[in-house]
């Protein structure tokens, strides 16, 4: 474990950029600070042939942070990516109600692994940017779901922009038997415990 820097910089004093337009990630980051900007990373998120879900999440989190850091020299840039995996199949954002219902039906009674990768690019020294990274694994065990309750859930919560077709911070919690994770915020899209750890490693004090 690395020692705490002798003279850490206060979080309010850094130019913090969230490399994401996600409102869910922004809501999570506001738990730590209101002083940040958001920027779209504009990264191709296509999965490479044979790429494991964990590796995909790590690659994209790094690519997003680096892409935004190039446009924001002197900033601390947060990149994050989440990949939901049902066995070897990745579950993307459904986009429409029919796909959401199909995803939840496929998840019924099964385990889904959520790999949430995090990357912090410290570009305060543009000649030598530093990279800090972490990843969380959250496992969700779905209970057996009936077609009617799946339809009611999708109609009520409209989880069309959520990988796996649910919102764990909302009614989606009723779909599960259990959730196993070291960080409850990771399932929503930004692992705050890991982020605090990476900020401390970069010499930034939250308290």
Catalytic residues: 81
- Give the whole-angstrom CA distance, residue 56 versus residue 42: 16
Could you tell me which of 116, 84, 131 has the C-alpha nearest to residue 194? Answer: 116
Tell me how far CA of residue 20 lies from CA of 141, 151, 159, in angstroms. 28, 30, 19
Residue at token pair 């964990």: 54
List, as one string, the DSSP characters of 75-130. Answer: -EEEEEEEEEEETTEEE----SHHHHHHHHHHHTTSEEEEEEEEEEEE-SSTTS-E
List, as one string, the DSSP characters of 23-66. Answer: HHHHHHHTTT-S--EE-------PPPTT--HHHHHHHHHHHHHH
């Amino acid at each position: 474990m690395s020692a705490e820097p002798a003279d850490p910089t206060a979080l309010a004093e850094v130019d913090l950029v969230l490399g994401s337009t996600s409102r869910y990630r922004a809501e999570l980051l506001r738990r730590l600070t209101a002083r940040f900007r958001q920027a779209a990373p504009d990264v191709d998120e296509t999965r490479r042939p044979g790429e494991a879900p964990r590796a995909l999440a790590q690659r994209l989190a790094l690519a997003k942070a680096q892409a935004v850091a190039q446009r924001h020299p002197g900033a601390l840039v947060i990149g994050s990516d989440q990949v939901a995996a049902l066995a070897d199949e990745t579950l993307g954002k459904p986009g429409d109600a029919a796909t959401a219902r199909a995803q939840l039906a496929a998840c019924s009674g099964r385990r889904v692994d959520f790999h949430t990768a995090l990357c912090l690019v410290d570009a305060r020294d543009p000649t030598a940017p530093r990279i800090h990274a972490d990843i969380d694994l959250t496992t969700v065990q779905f209970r057996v779901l009936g077609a009617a309750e799946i339809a009611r859930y999708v109609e009520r919560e409209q989880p069309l922009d959520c990988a796996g077709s649910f919102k764990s911070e909302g009614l989606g919690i009723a779909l599960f038997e259990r959730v196993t994770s070291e960080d409850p915020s990771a399932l929503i899209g930004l692992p705050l415990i890991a982020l605090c750890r990476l900020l401390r490693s970069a010499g930034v004090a939250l308290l």
